[in-house]
Amino acid sequence: MTDPKQQLIYPQNFDIKLIIAAEIPNEEAKRNISQALSESKTVHSFVNIRSSGKGNYLSYCYNIDIESKEHLEKTYALLKQIPGLKFAL
């Protein structure tokens, strides 16, 4: 059973990190992320990009507004379809 004190209260604003294979060009990755977030009707803004230690992956950070649990689930489902995506945190 979930502790009621640990349940999220919506709306929420937070940073999401998307780890994408470095072989995907930056502009293509940013376009794909923005398209998925727009399709889920998620208000978002780009924060930054960081490279992994070995340079195999890039971490794209976006600030997003999530209105409900259903909105969060829809957003993650669309993000999972992005080419080269390894993780969405």
In this prediction the pTM is: 0.89
Model pLDDT for residues 28-62, shown as the tens digit of each residue: 999 999 999 999 999 999 999 999 999 999 999 99
Query: Which of 37, 55, 56, 70 lies closest to 47, judged by CA?
Result: 37
Q: What is the dihedral of CA 28, 22, 85, 75, to 10 degrees?
A: -50
Q: Count Cα neighbours of 66 within 13 Å in the Cβ-side half-sphere.
A: 19
How much is the pLDDT for 51? Answer: 97
**H or E stretch including 62?**
strand 57-66
- CATH code for the part of the protein at 8-88: 3.30.70.260
The domain locations on the chain are 8-88
Residue 2: pLDDT above 80? no
Residue 5: pLDDT above 90? no
Residue 21: pLDDT above 90? yes
Mean confidence (pLDDT) of the chain: 94
